[in-house]
Structure 1
Amino acid sequence: MTTSFGSPEARAFRERLRTWLAGNVPEAWRRAGGEDLTDDEVVEVRREWDRRLFAAGYAGVTWPVEFGGRGFGPVEEYVFYEECARAGAPEGLGRVGRLLAGPTLIAHGTDEQRARYLRPILSGEEIWCQGFSEPGAGSDLAAVRTRAGRDGAVYRVSGQKTWTSFAHYADWCLLLALTGPAELRHRNLSMLIVDMHAPGVTVRPIRQISGRSEFNEVFFDDVEVPVANRIGAEDDGWRVAMTVLTNERGMAEAANRYVDLMADSRQLLECAGHRPSRIGGDTLGGVEVYADRVEALRWQVMRAVEKSARGGDWFPSMAVLKLYWSELMQDMASAGLGLGCAEHASWWRRRYLESRATTIYSGTSEIQRNIIAERVLGLPK
């Protein structure tokens, strides 16, 4: 396993990937990130991207070889997502399946579940969504109230999930539901695979402050789910959920956020009047600090990845990095909007509105600070 970004193996992987991306990222997407495409065109581009990744062997970079992956480690995983982001590659519709559902099935699923679901996840044939958050259970995930009642060979699921990405395209949902007494927190949840086309499933897109509808509400009304679709033991879903959350806040997120922030940093410099012949001035000095903060993020991510590749624990870095990049993204968006750059006003408006949620999703900043204090620094509660 590669343990250093400077190793010959890591450099060779980066060069091969960079060459492949140069010839495969759709030009229309590379130019404008899909903003000039219709919703239907965006969906088709993203589906096609899933197919291209699978055909080239890049769909499961870190998945074990026996499950269709390449068997690479954290360094190659980070390189993959960093180079995809640098190249302006689209995000495939199969992202939740590849990053969350697949690794969870590999870790906790049965042989039958792996045989049924893993290949369609890698190929992009079947799309997954993640059914965790609820109106009354976001940061406090143990408070979920979607109920899965046992009825012979099936569970009957009723409840509501919210902020569910890809639900309006998904074939399957990785659902965390209550199967035991409500008072037995963390010991009363089960992880289920729910057919999103089953009777009783209703999906409603949520219109966001940015004008987009990337998330959904999902309602379950007495939906039948076979007991065979449970991942892990009954009432042991919290342990399975921790696997999902660790992958959700892993290398892919860190790499993509670094590249997003690098693009924002360059845009800030341009809006401040930064040109090779015009370096200087208070405005420039005020925004250059963000470039330094972005570079600090890059080194922190790379250090954490190399530590993980050597067998270290990713968990302490996960909370620190999430807190850092989410608040930096808000700071940079506010700075960009405040510059009043007419040429890029729409860019900064969109970035500002989108950034408001970064300190909420994937664990609020308050939750991250609690994790750092209690689990990283060992401070008393």
Structure 2
Amino acid sequence: MADADPQLHPETRAEAEPIVVARKRRWLRPALMFGVPLIVLAIAGWLWATSGRTVSTDNAYVQQDKVSVSAEVAGRIVEVSVTENQEVAAGDLLFRIDPEPYRIAVADADAAIAGAQVQLGTQRASYQGTGADIAAARDQISAAQQDYDRQAELMQRGFTTRARLQQSEHALEQARAALANANADAAEARAALATGAAVPGQNPAIAAARVKREKALLDLARTEVRAPVAGTIAQSDRLQRGQMMMAGLPAVTVVADGRSWVEANFKETDLDHMRVGQKAEIGFDAYPELKLKGHVASIGAGTGSEFSVLPAQNANGNWVKVTQRVPVRIAIDGKSPRPMIAGLTADVTVDIR
């Protein structure tokens, strides 16, 4: 070749270069004519073969179970044991409410039990005393009956007066009334000692006092508010020593560990072939190189606008059709090597084949 042989005369080399260029152009034209269409056809075939196999959305966010913890009793906060973003285990102390009022309530319940026990003893003694009253009333009836019989016999013989007979008859009636009163007092005392069907074998007053004590002990135990699940503390700025805490008012949030999923809001036009169990790939804006595998766990029962605070009112003259979004829960398969943070933006691609 002229280019490869440096010993060729310059004039000879100049004559050979146009021939080489012509040969290259002769092969380049067919390559362009046939190669470019083949490449275009290959790309088009690949797009046609792969189109409709997946649906994707970047309107997706990491979700985690968030447990809102509140106090079950009211009181002043005297101790705070956690800080923002602190890891806690289930059962760890979060904060403590002043227990003194509830200790006093327990002491008051103990006193109520003692009072009910004393009252029960008094009722038993009273019931035992009614037996003596009944016996005395019967003796009075017996004596009054004998006196009446004697006066009636003397009246028949004419040795007594009618006034004396009436006096003995009145005494007999009083003795009988005293016996009836004694029996009534005994029945009342017996009823006071009776037990109801709800708490058989227990005096109702003592049972009520014991229930009051159990309630006081439960309230005392609830002054210590503990983590219901393991997780990370959030919104702990609402916990301040000296602050009054109302029962049922959210005080702190625990973001539960190991319960992460992705909520992807797909267009309604993407749901035709989507089914529960289909494989999915998840990417994260926070971790560009991280790709996790997942699957469709469930498809929402309504669009996002349907469950909004102010749902759209389409029955008016200003209606404009807007493609709705349906929340789809994507379960994450396996454990992520990077921490999952609630609210992270994600990209989800679902294989709908």
TM class by smaller structure: under 0.3
- From the two aligned structures, give the one with the greater strand fraction: 2
Larger Rg: 2
**When you count helix as a share of all residues, which structure comes out higher?**
1
Q: For CA contacts below 8 A with separation 6 or more, give which structure has more relative contact order.
A: 2
